[in-house]
Homo-oligomer: A and B are copies of this chain.
């Protein structure tokens, strides 16, 4: 059986923790090369300093897996497509809506498959929730996404720079779940954004959403990047028919009427590669920008509040 040959670029935390094991576990894929600015070592694979060197001097491969930071990725995608490669992208695909928009037409023009992944969508609880809620009228939707930036991004100054998203870096995972479960219907109706006096991106936000299918829904999103102790990533839904559904732990646990019905961790990345094989077999791209659009809308229509300066915890 001929497997798809992959090259992976951007060998950081997410590549090592998730992509390497998911690729190794999937017989449809062979990882044949790495590209990384810093020297790395993985199973004796040949390594190249950048995309040009990989394309020029590396082994033949079918698809490029991009785990580099989102800034500059659109350009890498275009160059890989031009070299005849399919592409899989870590989330978020790009730092801006307009860049995301250029990707699907570029893939179509090149006749290659482009897959912009949203890992949180691949939890099994998300698919089940989507199925259960497809025909439901929402009464209440409550998203609570509270984590500690010190723990997940220690010292990473870029998250506070213009374009760094701030607290919307984790929030976009919640949005990727919402837009999977409720496609083409959720919009940002209002937003309050808290900007630390010494930073350019928000540290907390409170949003009101609207639902095209359920005009009377009470839908709120509360996000905070200074949560100490237990971290919270939950989505609660109550419907007109009385269904009470809760996704917790970022979508890995699904509760129905208070009963835990799905409790599964870490299916995200294996499922991403299963989907990528399907897309490659069917020569079909999947580039959904809708989670990014909700982030952009929060900034576009948000009311800005100055709050206390942010300082990193002492290391």
Interface, chain A (partner B; CB < 8 A): 74-75, 78, 95-99, 101-102, 105-106, 162-163, 184-188, 190-191, 195, 200, 210, 212, 215, 290, 293-297, 299-304
Asked if A101 and B300 sit within 8 Å, CB to CB, the answer is no
Asked if B96 and A301 sit within 8 Å, CB to CB, the answer is yes
Asked if A297 and B187 sit within 8 Å, CB to CB, the answer is no
Q: With the chains together, A287 CA to B267 CA distance in Å?
A: 37
Question: Which A-B residue pairs are the 4 nearest by beta carbons?
Answer: A163-B301, A296-B296, A98-B187, A96-B297
This chain: how many copies in the complex?
A: 2
Asked if B96 and A187 sit within 8 Å, CB to CB, the answer is yes
- 16 A-B pairs (CB sep. < 8 Å): A74-B187, A78-B212, A95-B300, A96-B187, A96-B188, A96-B300, A97-B293, A98-B187, A98-B293, A99-B210, A101-B187, A102-B212, A106-B212, A195-B304, A295-B300, A299-B300
Asked if B98 and A294 sit within 8 Å, CB to CB, the answer is yes
In the assembled complex, which residues on chain B have CB atoms less than 8 Å from the CB atom of A190?
162-163
Asked if B184 and A105 sit within 8 Å, CB to CB, the answer is yes
Closest to A189 in B: B96
In the assembled complex, which residues on chain B have CB atoms less than 8 Å from the CB atom of A195?
304
In the assembled complex, which residues on chain B have CB atoms less than 8 Å from the CB atom of A74?
187, 212
Q: With the chains together, A74 CA to B74 CA distance in Å?
A: 31
Most buried by B among A97, A184, A295: A97
Given contacts A97-B296, A97-B297, 5 further A-B contacts (CB under 8 A): A98-B188, A98-B297, A101-B184, A162-B190, A162-B302
